[in-house]
Amino acid sequence: MDYEEWKRKNWDEAHKTSNVSALTGTGFGGHLTTLQATDLFDKNSTVLCIGVGLGDWVRDFSEKVEQIWALDVSEIAKVRMPLGAVFTTDPRDLPSDTFDLALSLWVAPHMSDHDLQVQLTEVIRALKPTGTFAIHYKEPLYPDNLLDNREGADDEHLRAREAMMIRRRAHFFNMVTWAGGHVDKIAIEYPSNFYEIVEASAHIHKGDGS
């Protein structure tokens, strides 16, 4: 089974079965706290939720903000959407210059570089000039271990399946630059000595920051 086929089948099955181990149940507060985005939240915001999970956080947000959009790889995730939310599986459908805040938690480590590059490009395009994309990703804990995912497509896709796409900070920053944005700050870091990784969250804005 190639990566694209696996990607659709895996996440469709996770949503069909409400697989708790595959779909995060983190709610409104958990997303804002983990991504250090509490101060970025405003009730008048238009928010993009990336990775629907069990849907709890999307429903929580829908009760607190002006407008909610959700982006997920599985069409089946649409059933978890609250009334009035807009759903798409294709980031190219996102309207330009629209979102005050985009949030992505526990998603990027499942994504190939190609998929993440597309998502970064389209989400940054869809941000308002003052908007923020708060995204979690994984870095290697030590400089000499866990190289960027450049060993070939098979290895990259295996890492994506295991939620272990690990990107050096310089590589991640380059991806953001190529997408038309810049990293304003690394919001938070959780080192894991056991896995030899760092759970990092970045705040991204449009343009080059000048």
Domain boundaries, the chain: 3-15+30-206
Q: pLDDT, tens digit, for every residue of 60-96?
A: 889 999 899 999 999 999 999 998 899 999 999 999 9
Question: How are strands ordered across the β-sheet holding 197-206?
Answer: 86-88, 67-71, 46-50, 99-104, 127-140, 197-206, 181-192
CA 190 – CA 175 distance, rounded (Å): 22
CA 160 – CA 134 distance, rounded (Å): 20
Cα distances from 64 to residues 61, 86, 134, 150, in angstroms, run 5, 15, 18, 41
Mean pLDDT of 110-139: 95
**What percentage of the chain reaches a pLDDT higher than 90?**
50
Q: Which residue has the higher pLDDT, 160 or 90?
A: 90
Exposure b/e, 43-58, CB count within 10 A at least 16 = b? eebbbbbbbbbbbbbb
DSSP state of 166: B
Q: pLDDT, tens digit, for every residue of 175-196?
A: 999 999 999 999 878 888 877 8
Task: Note the pLDDT of residue 74.
Answer: 93
Task: Note the pLDDT of residue 77.
Answer: 93
pTM: 0.91
Residue 146 and residue 166 in contact, taking contact as beta carbons nearer than 8 Å: yes
* pLDDT surpassing 90 at residue 29: no
**Cα four-point dihedral sign 83, 89, 91, 92:** negative
Task: Note the pLDDT of residue 68.
Answer: 95
Task: Note the pLDDT of residue 98.
Answer: 97
* pLDDT surpassing 50 at residue 151: no
Q: Which residue has the higher pLDDT, 133 or 170?
A: 133
Give the fold, CATH level 3, of 3-15+30-206: Rossmann fold (3.40.50)
